[in-house]
Structure formats: C-alpha cells, structure tokens
Structure 1
Amino acid sequence: MSEGAKRSGRRSWPVVLLGLLVLVTLTGCGTSDEQDPSAEDVVEDSVAPETEAPSTEATSTEAPESEGEEATGDLRTVTFALTNQRAIQYHPYYLADYLGYFEEEGLDVDIQIVRGSSGAVQQLIGGNVEIAHPAGPATAQGVSEGHCLRQIYSYEHINVYGMAGVADQGIETLEDLKGQTVGVSEPSGGEIPLLRAVLAEADLEENVDYQFLPVGEGGAQTVNALQSGAAQAYGSSVYDVAATEAAGVALNDLMPDKFRYMPSTSVVVMCETLESDKEMLAGFGRAVAKATVFSQANQDAAWDITETYEPTLFEDETIATAFWEAANAAMSQPPDIEGEPWGSHHYEGWEVYLESATQGTEEEGALEQEAVDVVLNETLTDELLPDINDFDEEAVIDEAENFPGV
C-alpha cells in the first residue's frame, strides 16, 4: 500500500465520505447494466418464508491461508450469510478468519454470499444458514411477517442510504430541490421510501415539488445523468455515491442529521438459534469484536489482510480508499453510545427509522405498529453482549501493533 493510502484510527473513526451512510450496491465502478449479482438490495421485496430461495442462492467464499493454526477437525462449521462479496465493507469478518479469532472460538465460519438483505433473511428463515447479516429494514420486514428474529450484534450504525446534491448545479440544501429531479438507483430501489421521508422534512412532495429518475448504481449512467443535468441530486447507497464522486462529480451532502444514524447491517439469528446456541453465538460475536479492535489499532494491516480476500477491489486505489473510509465511518458508534460495548444497539436510530417505516400503505411496505413494538422490545437484544465483550482489548491492540505483515 502506498504512503498516500496509509490509514489510521483507534476507538472512533471519523464520519467521512460525504458524512453519508452505509450499505451497498456496486462492483467496483460498474454501470447499472452490469449489476453485481451480490449487490445490496434492501427490502425491495417482502421477506418470504420459503425454505428455498432460488434467486438468493448462497455461494461460499474461499479464504486464503490464514495466520491461525490449521483446522484440527473438531471445529464447528457455522454458516454465515453476507449480502455481497465486497470484503472492504465486511473486513472485520475476514480479519477474524485470517487472524484465527474464529478458530480460537472453536468455529469454522463458512461465509455464504447471497443477494441482498432480504435474501439473507430468506436464507435464515429457511434454515439454510445459522447466522445472517441483513440491514435493519429487512430484519423489521421479517418480523412484520411473523418470523421470530433476534439481532444480537449491531455492526454498522450509519444509515444505509444517502442523498447528495450536484455542486455544479448549486444544490446545497433540500429546499434547493423544489422543481428538480432526484436520481435514484432504480424504480423500486430500497432508498426511495427513505428519500420521500427526507424530502418531506423540507415540505417537498413527490410528483408535485420533485420527481425521481432512475440513473443507475454509481456507474457511467449515474455520472452522465448528473453531469448532463438530467438529475440535480442523487440518492442511493453510500458506495454508489462514493463511486460517483470518485468519478469526478462534486457532491454536497443533503442528508439531515435526524436520518444519519439509522439501523444498518447487523448480526441476526432465529430465536431458536439464540436459545440453543448461546455459546457459539457469543464466540462468533467475540471474534468479530476482536477483529474490529485489531482493525482500528492497525489500519494498514487490516487493509493488507482484506486485500488478500478480494484483490480486484483494491486495483483502483482511489475507489478502494473511498470504500474503506465509508466502511469505517459506518462502523463508528453514534455519539450518544460512543464507548459502549462492541455490538451495542442504537435504539434512538431504530426509533427514527421505525417511525418513518410506518408511513404509507401496507402495499407500499409500511410496518404495522405491532411489528414496531416487537422490534424495539424483543428483536433487539443485549443478552450476549457481556460475553461478546469478554476479552482483553489491550492484548488485541498489542497484537495489531506488532503484526508482522501478510
């Protein structure tokens, strides 16, 4: 890694990259015609209870040789669904594998890549994986359909979607969008309900004060639409926005602070798994927490280890750096829970999201109040956090600072 790409960070990463949100949707910087089959697709469809989900078929990743000891044959294999192949976004999971933290917990974690958060929840409900990593809206949707889910560890805290105005067109505030066009990823993009709520904060109504226009997922189509003036703002995943800005489009962050910290991707299991496998789940979470500490203590080592899992993502250092900063920002704890145990839930952010999620009709995916109450009082659980955080953080920091290299 070049000197210019050196990273730093300890307990709290700065919220950078347009101050935006996190989650996911694109391969490198591809166009919308060449969508990543593992791209994030949060709650576009209702979470179905089918055992088989052909459109979200999981594929296993192959890990490079790690620092941990070779498997002894008595490790427990655990299936874990991630919503896309992008190792940068999920680098603590790959670090936990490479550094042997999962193995220390007696686990051989089989990472399965599925299409989006709704796909991850489908695989979990169908019994095809034991642990999943969906975004909050997909978890809430699953709960609303009567499934018993538990979120045991919050991984990302920044809202999964962002909105930015094109600087060259003078878009600096939400009010500037009156009479304008807002670019979105696609007609049924998961960002649209949130963008409606955001624009309503400025008393703007869809198809009266503004309109949406599908412009793709951060690739050439998006760039062309924004540079040509076809759209004056862009709302999509943080990685789409990052890729667009890296391609040369100057953008101004328009996301109100109210919507900045909202439920993003986290570790979710079925209720019966929590009841029967507490020790396994605590060990899984502990390995991830240790890997997060390692990453913060030595960002250069974390970068180099992650690159061994997905070298092609690092070929364009500008894009990789933007993604890396966005991923780190997403894992930063909101100010009101900063310093809380790893995996702590941000209830205030959930309340803001759930309030907006009840707006609209059932056909539009609005949640019933009963589901909101279940999510806040039952789905989010702190039960395992004491065990997850039962490790020597200083020892992990020392290991990171003395890491010999990949």
Structure 2
Amino acid sequence: MRKNRRRIAAFALAVLLPVLAACGGGSGGGSSAGGTIDVTIGVGGQASIVYLPTTLAQQLGYYEEEGLNVTLQDFQGGAKSLEALMGGSVDVVSGYYDHTNQMAAKGQKLKSFVTMLRYPGLVMAVSPETDKPIGKIEDLKGAVVGVSAPGSSTHLFLNYLLSKKGLDPRKDVSVIGIGLTGTAIAAMEKGEVDAAVLTDPAATQLAKRHPDLKILMDTRTAEGVKQAFGTETYPASVLYSKAEWIEQNPEAARRLARAIQRTLKWIQQHSPREIAEKMPSRFHGGDESTYVEAIDHTMPMFSPDGVMHPEGPQAVKEVLSLSLEEVRRAKFDLKETYTNEFVQ
C-alpha cells in the first residue's frame, strides 16, 4: 500500500509540475510557455507618439519577456500598414481602430484586440507659409491639405471635418501624403501644403518653431474630442489583425495584448522625460526637450488599461458614416470589429 501511494504521488507530481510551470503564477509578467512566437507588426508612422506604446514595449523588453520575437516595420501611414496586412507581409498592425470599420464595410473582417489611445491626437493646423486666409475649416476650400498618406486615418479625419461643414472632400480640397514626422514639418514650413493633419511630436515641434501657428482642430484633449466628435472618448491607435489570424493565433494575441497593457501601466507610472529617455534617440528629431513636451501633451490620450469601451466604436462608426458612403450604407456588427478577450 505504501509503495502504491508513493507511486501515485510521484506520478501526480510528474503530471502537475509542467502544468504549474506553464501557469507561471498568473502574475502577467512574461511567461513564455510554448516557446517563442514570431510576430511582425506594421506601424503607421513609428516615430509618431500616437504609436509610442508599440515601440516602448520593445524598448522595455516586454515583448521578449512575454515570449515574443517582434519585428516592427515602419510605414508612411496607416493605409500603407493596412495594405501590408491584407497583402500578408505583416501579421498585426499598430494603427487606428477606424480601419476595422472601413474594412468591415467591404466585407473584410479585421479585429482590434488592445487599445492604446482613447483620443485620436490629430491636429488640423494651417501652414505658416500659406498665402491663403484660413481661419476655420470652411476656409480650406480650394486648399492643398497634407495627410500622412491618402486613405489613412488622418485623411479620414480630414474628410469628416470637411463633410461636417458641408464641403465635398473629393472636390473641394487637394490631398497629398506628407508622412507624420520630419517630412510633415518640412511640407508645412516650405509651403508645399496650405494645411495638414498632424500628430505629435510634429504638432508640438511646429508650434514651438512658429508660436503663431493657427490650429483649427485639436483632438489631443477630452475637450477637443468633444468639440470634434461630440463624444467623451474616441478610440484611436490599437493593435488589430485579421479576425482569422487572431482565431488561429490566440496565444500570440494574448501575449501582445499583455505586453502593451504592461507598457500602458508603465507610462502611467513614469514622467514624460523618463518615457522619452527610453525611446530611440532618432525619434527626438534632434530636439529632446520638445519631444518631452510633446509626450507631456499626449499623456491624457493613453489608455490606462488597453480596454475598448463600447461607446467608443459607436462614435467611430458614426463619424465614418458621415464621410464614407460605403460605411454609411453597410450593415455590420460593431462587436465583430474589436475584442477585450485578451485584456480582461
């Protein structure tokens, strides 16, 4: 009997030990059970602060701690990242949530699985070198307006602002792609565009160099989001992928979501300067103090927990319906465009 008990105990221990090791205590601190997973993430303008958590997670070593081998591919704008996802050259996109709605209207199933920004952080500014008298959105008629890339979220934001004021986005303005960082600043300062949709750090850098910079709309704050969209929250940068990829790779999605959640928590616990010091120096644009200031401006935008709140997607769909006929006419379930499964 004693021998049998010892055998049973030894057998139970042999079975339980691997299971306990795999569970890792449930602390959310980097279990890599199942081996390292390779993931390629396309970023719609990596140096832009709206995508900061994606790079910061790598700088902090959180991807590696979660058992991920992450490759970040930088693109000019969100539309280019989306193209890469649909073409199969990236697994996941660090981009704006509105692309999941835009593609759902076309019958393509994309899904967001962790939210990084609760405000879009988009700034509509007038070029300091334009000769056009632009003081309000309506004055953009006949202007050349810069966006990160045609079809990107900055372009959709422009279309929304124009449509809201009764202008035709296809006829009343000319749109060109200027990127989001140094190239956007250069286009504004050289007068290549009359106005542009910017993000930080470009918006802060340009305002510092031109104190009289005219800003027509600023969605970096709750007040600005309310003015632009009439809502308290408007989900912006997220990690999203094809719904099929998430279904087939739930562990990769879970680890990515956990790494971003840890990064968002780290952001809440550190100062803008400490955050800037962790980022690649090339993102500073040669002016670290302005970069720190830009991060300070965007601190309220970062989600504290990565969770998508249900009123946010509804607001996005309503905005897109105003500027995109295909979204307005399409019938799709918003609950299919995001999931909180991996962040709760």
Q: TM-score, normalised by structure 1?
A: 0.59
> Are 2:48 and 2:199, in contact at CA under 8 Å, matched by a contact in 1?
no
Measured on the aligned residues, the alpha-carbon RMSD in Å equals 3.9
Deviations 1:198-252, CA, capped at 9 Å, x for gaps: 3554x55459xx86686966434423549xxx95xx3412234333312214235
Partner of 1:315, secondary structure, is coil
State, as a whole percentage, how many aligned pairs show the same letter. 21
Q: 1:292 to 1:356 in 2, by over 3 A?
A: closer
* CA contact 1:89–1:324 (8 Å) conserved in 2: no
1:311 corresponds to 2:282: yes
Q: Aligned match of 1:251 in 210, 213, 219?
A: 213
Residues 304-353 of structure 1 deviation map (CA, whole Å, 9 limit, x = unaligned): 121xx34363521244234423543432x4xxxxx6xx112244343333
Q: Within 2, Cα distance between the matches of 1:347 and 1:384?
A: 16
Change (3 A) 1:124 1:189: closer
2:92 to 131, 151, 154: 131
2 CA distance for matches of 1:247 and 1:105?
41
Q: Is the 8 A contact 2:146 2:196 kept in 1?
A: yes
1:139-158 maps to which residues of 2 (within 5 A)? 139-158=100-119
Cα distance change, pair 244–315 in 1 and its aligned pair in 2 (3 A): closer
Equivalent position SS for 1:301? helix
Cα 1:221–1:312 shift into 2, 3 Å: closer
1:50 corresponds to: none
Partner-residue secondary structure (3-state), 2:89 = coil
Which 5+ residue runs of structure 1 have no aligned equivalent? 1-67, 334-338, 387-406
Look up the match of 2:295.
324
8 Å CA contact 2:267–2:275 kept in 1: the answer is yes
Provide the residue aligned with 2:317 in structure 1. 354
CA shift in 2, pair 1:318/1:248, >3 Å: farther
Instruction: Tell me if structure 1 keeps the 8 A contact 2:150–2:177.
Output: no
Q: Does 1:370 align with 2:327?
A: no
Moved more, 318-327 or 284-293: 318-327
> Equivalences for 1:143-222 in 2 at 5 Å?
143-159=104-120, 161-164=122-125, 177=138, 184-185=145-146, 188=150, 190=152, 191-199=154-162, 201=164, 203-205=165-167, 218-222=184-188
Map of 1:97 onto structure 2: 58
Match of 1:285 in 2: 257
For residues 204 and 210 of structure 2, the distance between their equivalents in structure 1, rounded to whole angstroms, comes to 10
The structure-2 alpha-carbon separation of the partners of 1:324 and 1:179, relative to structure 1 and needing over 3 Å to count, comes to closer
TM-aligned CA deviation for residue 283 of structure 1: 1.7
The CA distance in 2 between the partners of 1:111 and 1:270, in whole Å, is 17
Residue deviations 1:178-210, cap 9 Å, x none? Answer: 597655216957545533533554x55459xx8
Change (3 A) 1:204 1:243: farther
Q: Distance in 1 between matches of 2:210 and 2:94?
A: 32
- The answer as to whether partners of 1:182 and 1:235 remain within 8 angstroms in 2 is no
Deviation at 1:271, TM superposition (A): 1.7
Structure 2, unaligned runs of 5 or more: 1-28, 218-223
Q: Distance in 2 between matches of 1:104 and 1:72?
A: 11
**Matches of 1:281 and 1:73 in 2, distance apart?**
14
| Inter-CA distance 172–346: structure 2 relative to 1 (3 Å threshold) | farther
Higher helix share: 2
**Matched residue type, 2:274:** A
Which residue of structure 1 lines up, in the alignment, with residue 342 of structure 2?
384
Distance in 1 between residues matched to 2:156 and 2:37, nearest whole Å:
41
Q: How far off is 1:259 after superposition?
A: 2.7
Given the alignment of the two structures, is residue 122 of structure 1 paired with residue 83 of structure 2, yes or no?
A: yes
Residues 354/171 of structure 1: CA separation in 2 closer, same or farther (3 Å cut): same
Give the direction of change, closer, same or farther, for the CA distance of 1:279–1:329 in structure 2 (3 Å limit).
same
Q: Distance in 2 between matches of 1:222 and 1:83?
A: 20
Q: Secondary structure at the match of 1:290?
A: helix
CA distance in structure 2 between the partners assigned to 1:215 and 1:116 by the alignment: 9
2: CA distance, partners of 1:173 / 1:144: 31
Instruction: Map residues 15-164 of structure 1 onto 2, 5 A cutoff.
Output: 74-86=35-47, 88-159=49-120, 161-164=122-125
Aligned length: 293
Alpha-carbon spacing, 1:164–1:75, altered in 2? closer, same or farther (3 Å)? same
How has the CA–CA distance of structure 1 residues 143 and 92 changed in structure 2, closer, same or farther, with 3 Å as cutoff?
same
Q: Which amino acid aligns with 2:101?
A: A
Task: Tell me which of 223, 234, 247 is aligned to 1:262.
Answer: 234
Task: Give the letter aligned to residue 272 of structure 1.
Answer: E
1:345 counterpart letter in structure 2: M
In structure 1, what is the Cα distance between the partners aligned to 2:68 and 2:290? Answer: 33
Match of 1:37 in 2: none
CA contact (8 A) 2:97 2:112 kept: no
* Secondary structure class of the residue paired with 1:351: helix
State the shift of 1:137 in Å. Answer: 3.1
- Higher-Rg member (1/2): 2
Give distance in 2, aligned partners of 1:92 and 1:361.
29
Shift of 1:152: 0.6
| Residue in structure 2 matched with residue 32 of structure 1 by the alignment | none
